[in-house]
Amino acid sequence: MRNQVRVPVILPVYGVEKYIKQTIQSVLDQTYQDFEIIVVDDESPDQSVDICQSFSDPRITIVHQKNRGLAGARNTGIRHARGEYLAFLDGDDLWHPQKLEKHVYHLQNSPNVGVSYSSSAFIDDDNNPLGIYQMPKLLNISIGHIICRNPIGNGSAPVIRREVLDAIAFQENRYGQVETFFFDDGFRSCEDLECWFRIATQTDWAFEGLPDVLTLYRINPGGLSANLANHLAHWERVIEKTRSYAPEVIGQWENRARAYLLRYLARRAVTLRDGALALTYFKRAVTEHWPMIVEEPKRTVITGTATALLCAFPRPFYQWLESTGLRVIRQVQGRRLVQHQAPFQTVAQTASSGGLVANPNPIPAMSRD
């Protein structure tokens, strides 16, 4: 690794008292120790901030603000951050111990990459691994892929060059004085997508992922990820904002992106056991962009089948089918993880010639102490 650089970790805090101690500890346990944690108290109503204050590590700074939401808390953290690379971690997620080490190594050896992200593993509310993963596309990420797929996956996955965020910054008077914004805090959902869209359309920086599972992303049924209608409404607002400065891009990808999102929402509705809602979203997805049946037959057929089974069978029988299906998915994804990492192990052996660098000893698919 080249010269050591300090990495600010921006950690918004709101209503996460159950998780925040473990979240902070996952940063303190990093193999790469040159970091600072900028905790942004977004006027949290619980004991989250008290828990943060119980840590005596001098690298932890707590900043208080009036409630502005997740995007607003990230902006506050960015304004306070001093560093070449900025890492983001939500208050209920966790990191693998090698998270920062690998991303710093990646960015130092890939000068064209502005956003480095990783694969993620899902955990439940009690930190139990669900055995399923976000395994996004890692290389050759196009604007269309950002809009249709969001390969970054979640807000705790990316480490971003400061130059990238400075390139998309804008200034407005929203709270009584002119401030610099990076994420648009007018969005209380999809705020990360809106930011990625601006990076993809307004800069030449590349997005590139690491195959290792470095982020543990919590599935919280009561969180924003479960509010499907709200998510869709905010996504539509993001599309309209992006259309205002990149109409040709939106014109090319809008229908496909909306169909993929509706199909995803159908899958989420299935996990919430809402068959009627799942069917509504799935029918809308196919109507919006029917070629996705040909483009991605497996995803589309699996989503449609799960929706139909949920609507057709009694809940106990469906739950049995679902548990069987999840076992199959875990086995398939386990094999895919090995395949996912194999090309990067080869690249790592020739790292001295440039390009993407990954540890030749890949991180296990799931590691929990």
CA 30 to chain centroid, in Å, comes to: 19
- pLDDT at position 335: 64
Do the beta carbons of residue 149 and residue 241 sit within 8 Å? no
Q: What is the pLDDT of residues 314-366, one digit of tens each?
A: 666 556 555 655 555 565 556 666 665 554 443 333 333 333 333 333 333 33
Supply the DSSP symbol for 355. Answer: S
Q: Residue 266 carries which side chain, given as an amino acid letter?
A: A
Q: What is the pLDDT of residues 127-151, one digit of tens each?
A: 888 888 888 999 999 999 999 999 9
Q: Which residues, in sequence order, are CB contacts of 210 under 8 Å at separation 6+? A: 102, 103, 106, 116, 117, 118, 119, 138, 344, 358
Half-sphere exposure of 224 (CA within 13 A, CB side): 20
Q: Which residues, in sequence order, are CB contacts of 242 under 8 Å at separation 6+? A: 147, 194, 197, 198, 201, 249, 250
Name the pTM for this structure. Answer: 0.84
Domain ranges in the chain are 246-338
- pLDDT at position 312: 82
Does the structure show a pLDDT above 80 at 86? yes
Residue 39 structure tokens: 């905790």
Half-sphere exposure of 20 (CA within 13 A, CB side): 23
The whole-angstrom separation of Cα 107 and Cα 125 is 32
Q: What is the pLDDT of residues 193-204, one digit of tens each?
A: 999 999 999 999
Q: What is the pLDDT of residues 232-278, one digit of tens each?
A: 999 999 999 999 999 999 999 999 999 999 999 998 888 888 889 99
Helices 297-312/315-349 angle, 10° precision: 160
- The mean per-residue pLDDT over the stretch 166-186 comes to 96
